[in-house]
Amino acid sequence: MRAVLVALVVALVSVLRSRASLHLEVLALRHQLAVLHNGGRRPRLKPADRVLWAWLSRAWAGWENALVFVKPGTVISWQRKRFRDHWTRLSRRGRPGRPPIAQEIRDLIRKMSRANPSWGSPRIRSELRKLGIDVAKATAEKYRGRPRKPPSPAWRAFLANHTKELVSLDFFTVSTVRFNVLFVLIILAHDRRRVVHFHITEHPTARWTAQQVVEAFPWDTAPRFLLRDRDGVYGADFRRRVQSMGIEEVIIAARSPWQSAYVERMIGSIRRECLDNVVVLSERHLRRILKDYFSHYHRWRCHQSLEMDCPEPRPVQAPKVGKVVEVVEAGGLYRHYERLAA
């Protein structure tokens, strides 16, 4: 009896329902049958199935009673996901997020950070703004380096601050055609790799060496530091004279020529480029040879440590000046090239 009453009530309700609601229910039931028939025990829902049920949940009030294969909460979550995806697509038209930072700017930030360990992100950002590059503080923070130790000046900066006040001196020997041994004293300024003074003798003494330092730096041109080795020629007379000039001696360790690398490199260049290619006849002959070499060295020889410039700054000649001409010096021992107007 109860079943009959339920059937009568259902029939009455179905009659009273609108025709559109009935069609939606039929659509929902047929769709579920099709999904269950194709998917087996665990139906696989496609995006179109989710869109259909998300639409039914908004267009039909009785959709929950007809839903069998999933829970109503699942359909609600589908609808929320569609909402999020819709507005995500609208907000991401074009390129999402901030505009990308060019690789050149990233490298510049890292370069500034390495060269200036004490600079923070605000300092780097303000420096970039002065160069016409406007970035956020977070960008500078992201790409700058992170020093592991407390910031300190780099060795390059430390040496650059002292190189203008530092000179080196050293002796090297040259044998003549008559088997005489000549001692050549070289005094080298570190800032531009200039040979400030040189002299030749057969019998070097402390007094003679001290006199050469006086002749190299007359009046108030004396440097602050003088780098030398532990040769016995730098005796008491030499030390007293140097001290009276206000020069502080920096003595390298025993048997450590690499600690006076600039002057040792200079002596090596003199031998390779000049003395290894000539036979020295006398002291006078050697003096003339070295004068010619130093003239070429200062005016025309480029150095990597000077950014490919010469000890005496050499101007860059534009192509419009004229054609390139080869100039031979010292009988072909050296050559340089310059542009001359036709």
Q: Between 100 and 156, where is the model more confident?
A: 100
In DSSP notation, 1-44 reads -HHHHHHHHHHHHHHHS-HHHHHHHHHHHHHHHHHHHHHTTS--
DSSP 317: P
- pLDDT at 26 > cutoff 80: no
Residue 27: per-residue pLDDT: 67
With H, G, I as helix, E, B as strand and everything else as coil, classify residue 329: strand
From 120-129, 170-179, 263-272, the region with the lowest mean pLDDT? 120-129
Do 161 and 188 contact (CB within 8 A), yes or no? Answer: no
- Any bridge partners for residue 166, and if so which? 225
Tell me the CB-side half-sphere exposure of residue 210, using CA atoms within 13 A. Answer: 18
With H, G, I as helix, E, B as strand and everything else as coil, classify residue 231: coil
For the chain, give percent helix, strand, coil, nearest 5.
55, 15, 30
Instruction: Provide the sign of the torsion angle of the four alpha carbons 307, 309, 310, 312, taken in this order.
Output: negative
- pLDDT at 311 > cutoff 90: yes
Residue 249: per-residue pLDDT: 94
The segment with the largest mean pLDDT, out of 12-26, 44-58, 101-115, 142-156, is 101-115
Work out the burial of residue 14: count CB atoms within 10 Å of its CB; fewer than 13 is exposed, 13-18 middle, 19 or more buried.
exposed
What tens digit of pLDDT does each residue of 138-159 get? 888 888 877 666 656 666 666 6
Do 269 and 290 contact (CB within 8 A), yes or no? Answer: no
Residue 308: per-residue pLDDT: 87
Return the domain boundaries, the chain: 14-87, 103-149, 160-329
In DSSP notation, 138-198 reads HHHHHHS---SS-----HHHHHHHHGGGEEEEEEEEEE-TTS-EEEEEEEEETTTTEEEEE
- pLDDT at 180 > cutoff 90: yes
For residue 234, the one-letter residue type is Y
Query: Predicted confidence band at 70 (pLDDT cuts at 50, 70, 90)?
Result: low
Residue 252: per-residue pLDDT: 92
Residue 120: per-residue pLDDT: 85
- pLDDT at 171 > cutoff 70: yes
From 26-30, 177-181, 267-271, the region with the lowest mean pLDDT? 26-30
Fold classification of 160-329 (topology level): Nucleotidyltransferase; domain 5 (3.30.420)
Do 283 and 289 contact (CB within 8 A), yes or no? Answer: no
Residue 232: per-residue pLDDT: 92
Residue 251: per-residue pLDDT: 93
Mean pLDDT of the chain: 83
Token pair 């995806």 is found at 85
Q: Which residues, in sequence order, are CB contacts of 276 under 8 Å at separation 6+?
A: none
- pLDDT at 25 > cutoff 70: no
Residue 117: per-residue pLDDT: 78
Residue 113: per-residue pLDDT: 87
In the chain the first and final C-alpha atoms are separated, in Å, by 126
Residue 306: per-residue pLDDT: 87
* Percent of the chain clearing pLDDT 90 (strictly above): 40
Residue 88: per-residue pLDDT: 78
Q: Around Cβ 213, how many Cβ atoms within 10 Å?
A: 22
- pLDDT at 229 > cutoff 80: yes
Query: Predicted confidence band at 15 (pLDDT cuts at 50, 70, 90)?
Result: low
What tens digit of pLDDT does each residue of 285-298 get? 999 999 999 999 99
Could you tell me the pTM of the whole model? 0.58
